[in-house]
Amino acid sequence: MPTLKALRRRIDQLDRRLVALLNDRAAVAAAVGRLKLTGGQGTTFSPDREQAVYANAMAASRGPLSKEALRAIFREVMSSSLGAVVAPTIAYQGPPMSFAHLAARRKFGSQVTYVPCATIGDVYGDVERRRADYGVVPIENSLEGTVGYTLDRLVETELVISSEILQPIDHHAVGACPLAKVKRLYLHPQAHAQCRAWIEAHLPAAKLVETLSTSMAAAMAHNHPTDSAAIASEEAARRYGLSFLARSVGDSSRNVTRFLVVGRTVARPTAHDKTSLVFSIKDRVGALHDMLAPFRRYRINLTKIESRPSRRKAWDYYFFVDLEGHAQTAAVAKAIAALEERCTFLKVLGSYPASA
């Protein structure tokens, strides 16, 4: 049986090989990045290539590392590669360690430049004005539903959806004082809606103070340490040096927010894609049924459909649809073409790799 010293010597040897391989990979990735920039692509991020790297890593693994561990490792490897030539700039809503920031880091890793924005509109604006390469915006929560403003801006903007992120949401009660001394609770409105039962059971008399983000809530609790607490993420609590008064205080353990990455990158088809589009129709009996017929004909699975006022005139609606497949594949392209013939307006918002 090998000794501890021998095993550690083996680890040191493997680490040296890993460092050499990682540097070789970074050099090749930098060459790829320079070719892309020379070719006018403007950014080194490729959503379809990212998907392929993860898939290749999972397929090559025989354990004992889990898929999630491998994904985290390769996220940082690719993040370092993105910054090897020109690090992309990522805009997101909220201060650092808000859930939008956590979602952005989940996608792009730690080796890119992050820009916090006050509002979702500011995120779009920074990317549209080329102050940022990509923006990360919330589109829907599994408990609270769709973010309407994000949908409205997708109709108006020239940007496309390049990717999506599924960010688990785990709320914690945090503060610098004991729970029994809490008189004020800082929280985002979404956090309030998602933690209502815990708040009513444990802090029924506390004054609830709404903030623009969960990270801001943690900052406020930090600024009022003697009698205040916040509902925030673990990362926000650690950033502001707060203690955990209660963990996982959400009403449901299946709380996930879906974020979109918006930019100018059009993702190429992969084996597992999603397309988002929006259309409007004439107001007549059976119109929506007729609009959906092409998807049935070409056997396209719709994963979401939602209506929203168009704001052009009263009782005029946009219909937002998510479907399985890429707009460049034959069946989806035919279905969209058939739909467009029947619409008063249609826009493909983006085709992109679907999150696992």
Active-site entry in 89, 150, 214, 257: 257
Active-site entry in 45, 108, 259, 295: 259
For the question of residue 150 being annotated catalytic, the response is no
For residue 158, the 8-state DSSP code is S
Planar angle of CA 3, 6, 9, nearest 5 degrees: 150
For the question of residue 259 being annotated catalytic, the response is yes
d(CA 269, CA 272): 8
Q: Which residues contact 113 (CB under 8 A, 6 or more apart)?
A: 87, 88, 89, 90
φ/ψ of 334, rounded to 5, equals: -65, -40
Q: Which residues contact 243 (CB under 8 A, 6 or more apart)?
A: 174, 175, 176, 237
SS3 109: coil
Q: How would DSSP label each residue in 288-305?
A: HHHHHHHHHHTTPPEEEE
Active centre residues (catalytic): 257, 259
